[in-house]
Amino acid sequence: MNDLESKLSRTLNRAATQAPHAPGTLAGTVETRFRRRRRRSQALLAAAAVVVLAGGTSYALRGEDIRAVPATSATAAPVQARLTELPAPIEQVWPEAVRKTPAKLPDGRAYQARTFVDERTLLVTTEQRFEVADAVHAYDLDSGELRKIADVPVPEGTVLFASGFTIGADQVVWWTKLDDGRAQIWSAPLAGGEARIVTTHQVDGGGHESGLDGLAVAGDQVVFSINAGGVSAVPLGGGTAKPVEGGAGLHLLSWPWAGTVGMRGPEEPQFGTIRNLETGETSTALVRAGEKEMICGVTLCVGWAADGTTFQRLRDGSQEKSSPCEPSRFAPGRFCTTAVAADRRPLGVALYDTTTGRSADLGIRPQESSAPPVGKPGDPGVTGARPAVTMIETPHVEGDQPLLSYTVGDTRYVVDLRKIG
Amino acid sequence: MRRCNSFPAGLLWEVKQPTKGEKHVEPDSRFAEFVAERGDALLRYGYVLAGNPHDAADLVQEALVKLRAAWPRLRSKDNPESYARTTMARLHIATWRLRRREHLAWALPEGEHHDALPAGDERDLWQALAGLPRRQRAVVVLRYYEQLTDTEIAGVLGISRGTVRSQVSRALDKLRAALPPPDDRVPARHLHSDAGRGEAR
């Protein structure tokens, strides 16, 4: 080993001592995340043609003309917007949008809130075991009454359990996946009845790594996209799914919009270019050189700027500002959730309105922080004071979905984002 | 060396699919024990791989989720730590960004991690490492932190031994060029040296 190599070895071992400690909650976090992912598979990677222009970047769908985006420089000052103090509680900031209900159903069962049926009614699922739905219900928030819509079948060999619950044409629609790689799309009448299979669609060769990453009802059709890319449609009444024209390789964002999800690389945004599958109109978001991990919704994009701060702006590049919203795997809508932290400790979670800049405390508090550092014999770098890590789990807001629902202790918060003025 | 790398090459991609009818996997206390015991070591490894605590935390979490999925199918001779480390190295290379995609905020210290590095050579070197492409950095970490042989590195990253050598060589060239004092410059041929490295341990 020459001098540089010895120095490398020393430096790496010394640097390793600066790593944070694993929180005591790590195993539980991993378990939760593992189960969540089994149920709802993560969007996998789909490549798109990428063209880099001098000073700016433009993205185009495969096989499509490249649309140049002029390079412009950011006008906003590079100051990271951060919430360092808890804002006022959400029930004070947006009282009209918040309802608090018991975390459990009147009969004591736990449930998952899926979406709104109407202003006062939630579509909920009960579970036979953790994250495995056994029935879908309408839950009246005013009266507390629970009306069963349908049993949720779990066919032999199911590896991804009922996910993607959505409502359209008076039907509730969801999907599951079998271990042979076939996804099943189900529907049940909202008024109540039996679940039936709309279609069975081969997604991959098997396993629980991938499934559907978008599902919606459009008129009398069910439209969906798969993790590997590709938008298809099938009549709600049943049949064989057929590819939607112009939707090859794309992922459903919000019908009729679908786009590329990108490689999660430093340069390629998710949903940077989207296409309206009804009209063929495309929209390409502005990307500046050096920006990373950008993800867009139908109107808004968030990402990391070259200076290390997070920004938000409209797809066309206007209304750019520093934002406490961080890019995540969820396409941004008007609202985001973000951890509030001060002195490197999380204090809670806030709901942030990207339009007005207002924020509210969701009432969630951090999990217990990890135990003090304990060295493991034989590991390098067990000496030295390293900071412990505290974690806080935050609910997410997905695109322009109106429902944000989470529990704090015995209370379930149901936030109707449409009611925030 | 600190650890034994006894996983079969390609383990990551060859775990068998769940058997027909397998449904729910109950939490396994041995998995929790593994995380409790090895979490810190994996974070240290993630930190030298990624160069910052945020990506290190994400790498560890993502690798552990994958390990958790494979856990019921790991055979007794499989080494879970090797599995996790191999996953982390591959994830790091695969233009992989997962920052907070599960919306788990890690309250991590900002700007502290350079402070305890001594000023001078090591600090310069640590900063120069940040300029390496991901694959080169991974190869350097596997060789000089994990102390793996080129054959082992090739197995972990799924690349040829020749590629490992050329990547190490380029990385060392870059690091040398990035370091301020030219005093310890050595002839380039020494950079390819495998002297002292057993190919089959």
Higher pLDDT, A326 or A9: A9
**DSSP of A227-260, one letter per residue?**
TTS-EEEEETT----EEPTT-TT-EEEETTEEE-
pLDDT number for residue B165: 93
Q: How confident is the model at residue B147 (pLDDT cuts 50, 70, 90)?
A: very high
Answer whether residue A2 is part of any domain.
no
Bigger pLDDT: B111 vs A392: A392
Confidence tier at B26 by pLDDT (50, 70, 90): low
User: In chain A, what residues touch B36 (CB-CB under 8 Å)?
Assistant: 24, 26-27
Q: Residue A4 is nearest to which of B57, B107, B172, comparing CB atoms?
A: B172
The Cα angle at residue A338 between residues A336 and A340, in degrees rounded to 5: 150
Q: Where are the alpha helices (DSSP H) in B71-133?
A: 80-93, 121-129
CA-nearest of A351, A101, A19 to B109 is A19
Whether chain B has a CB inside 8 Å of the CB on A264: the answer is yes
| Band of residue B181 on the pLDDT scale cut at 50, 70, 90 | low
Look-up: residue for tokens 């899926």?
A114
**Which domains occur in chain B, in start order?**
1-113 (no CATH), 117-201 (1.10.10.10)
- Residue A126 to residue A148: CA distance in whole angstroms: 10
pLDDT per residue as tens digits for the range A69-126: 333 333 434 566 778 899 999 999 999 999 999 999 888 888 989 999 999 999 999 9
Stretch among A89-98, A110-119, A151-160, B7-16 having the lowest mean pLDDT: B7-16
- The reply to whether A6 falls in a domain is no
Q: The tokens of A169 are what?
A: 């044409």
Name the band, by pLDDT with cuts 50, 70 and 90, for residue B98.
Answer: very low
A68 pLDDT exceeds 90?
no
d(Cα A43, Cα B105) in Å, to the nearest integer?
A: 20
Ranked by mean pLDDT, which of A53-67, A112-126, B52-66, B149-163 comes out on top? A112-126
Nearest to B88 by CA among B34, B160, B137: B137
Q: How are the residues of chain A apportioned to helix, strand and coil, as percentages rounded to the nearest 5?
A: 10, 40, 50
> pLDDT value at position B59?
86
Counting residues of chain B whose pLDDT is more than 70, the rounded percentage is 60
- Give residue A368's pLDDT band: very low, low, confident or very high (50, 70, 90): low
Query: What letter represents residue A165's amino acid?
Result: F
Taken in order B74, B79, B80, B83, the sign of the CA dihedral is: negative
Classify residue A29: in a domain, yes or no. Answer: no
Percent of chain A with pLDDT over 70: 79
Name which residue leads in pLDDT, A72 or A27: A27
Asked if residue A36 is part of any domain, the answer here is no
Contacts of A24 in chain B (CB under 8 A): 36
Q: Does A134 touch chain B (CB under 8 A)?
A: no
Domain membership of residue A200 as a residue range = 41-419
| Pick from A255, A252, A292, A289: nearest CA to A271 | A252
The pLDDT of A146-169, averaged and rounded, is 92
Which residues in chain A are closer than 8 Å to B107, comparing Cβ atoms? 339, 341, 344-346, 366, 389-392
E strands of chain B, at which residues? Answer: 104-107
Note whether A15 contacts B176, CB cutoff 8 Å.
Answer: no
Q: CA A227 → CA A40, A44, A45, A193, A344, distances in Å?
A: 10, 5, 8, 30, 36
In a domain, A318, yes or no: yes
CA angle, A178 then A181 then A187, to 5°? 50
Q: How far is CA B27 from the centre of its chain?
A: 26
Concatenate the DSSP letters of all residues of A114-136 into one string: EEEEETTEEEEEEEEETTEEEEE
Task: Over range B166-185, report the average pLDDT.
Answer: 79
| Res B117: pLDDT | 53
Q: Reply yes or no on whether the pLDDT at A384 is more than 90.
A: no
Using DSSP, how many helices (H) and how many strands (E) does chain A show? 3, 30
Length of chain A: 421
pLDDT at residue number A347: 84
CA atoms of A414 and A101, how far apart (whole Å): 8
- Please state the domain count of chain A: 1
Residue B92 pLDDT > 70, yes or no?
Answer: yes
| Predicted local distance difference test score (pLDDT) of residue A38 | 61
The stretch B1-22 carries a mean pLDDT of: 29
For residue range A259-299, list pLDDT tens digits in order. 987 544 445 688 989 999 999 999 999 988 878 778 899 99
- CATH number for the domain harbouring residue A273: 2.130.10
Q: Which residues pair with B57 in a beta bridge?
A: none
Question: Does residue A41 have a pLDDT over 70?
Answer: no
CA distance B92 to chain A (A): 11
Q: Which residue type is seen at A306?
A: A
